[in-house]
Amino acid sequence: MGSRIGRQVSNYRMTSGILSLTNLGSDTPQLLTGLGFSCDTSTTAAGSASAVKKNPSPDFNEFCNHYIPSQLGAFVSAQIGSGSNQAVSGYSIGITYALGKYLRVLAGYSMIPSNEISPGFANAAAQYVAKNAPLFPGINPADLAGRTYGAFDGIETSGSPPAAGATPTSTIYYPGAITETHYRGGLVIGVALPINIYNLLGGNNKNSPTQ
């Protein structure tokens, strides 16, 4: 599980023609599913310095024989969480540190796909709102043109042109793409509950006598 730390990203979801701002893991935790690698492939429990010094695993190299390096690891993961328009809400890579045999803290770099307002729609919306200000109380055309964070939350759009001579409404017509996808980076921190695939595959039983 982890949460993203970084600048606010204006990710929008379209529902029945209405844009809504969503959260992309900055406040709500996301599930991180992936692979991790660590120095220790033995059954030695993390958190015991004496165990590492007195009984080093035969799988250790010289670097991993030291206590602190023996607790380090690396991970790559896909993120799954609320607020994204896609099944996978991001990708992460980073390092882990063992607090116990079945608990690690993690920190890394995350890339998330974000559906942001397209420049063309931002300009068209700003011009339309400026011409029909009474229909949009509290909305600043300059914020729309500059794609300020959250500026388009609640804006109603349509790809169907209005009838000729029709009275302006609060629905903004735009024939092009309302949003476009960008990948934004940020720091991700969290905790991991690892499953040792090496042990599951019998890595620590390879020297056991045959029955």
In a domain, residue 156? The reply is: yes
C-alpha pair distances (Å), 123 with each of 94, 127, 155, 161: 39, 6, 14, 17
Mean pLDDT of 75-86: 72
In a domain, residue 211? The reply is: no
In a domain, residue 207? The reply is: no
- Residue 201: its pLDDT value, please? 67
Mean pLDDT of 164-191: 91
Instruction: Tell me: do 195 and 109 sit in the same domain.
Output: yes
Domain with 81 in it:
2-10+23-114+182-202
Q: 82-119 b/e with 16+ CB inside 10 Å = b?
A: ebbbeeebbbbebebebeeeeebebbbebebbbbbbbe
The phi and psi torsions of 64 (rounded to 5 degrees) equal -75, -10
Across the beta sheet with 179-192, what order do the strands follow?
2-5, 179-192, 103-117, 90-100, 72-80, 31-38
Instruction: Tell me: do 106 and 61 sit in the same domain.
Output: yes
Instruction: Tell me: do 61 and 146 sit in the same domain.
Output: no
In a domain, residue 17? The reply is: no
In a domain, residue 209? The reply is: no
Contacts of 198 (CB under 8 A, 6+ apart): 41, 204
Instruction: Tell me: do 104 and 77 sit in the same domain.
Output: yes
Number of domains in the chain: 2
Structure confidence by residue, pLDDT tens digits, 50-64: 444 445 555 556 667
Least confident of 17-21, 43-47, 137-141: 43-47
Contacts of 186 (CB under 8 A, 6+ apart): 4, 5, 6, 7, 109, 110, 112
Instruction: Tell me: do 86 and 190 sit in the same domain.
Output: yes
Q: 179 or 32, which is more confident?
A: 179
Length of the chain, in residues: 211
Task: List the one residue out of 206, 199, 209, 190 whose CA is nearest residue 29.
Answer: 190
- Asked if residue 123 lies in contact with residue 141, where contact means CB atoms within 8 angstroms, the answer is no
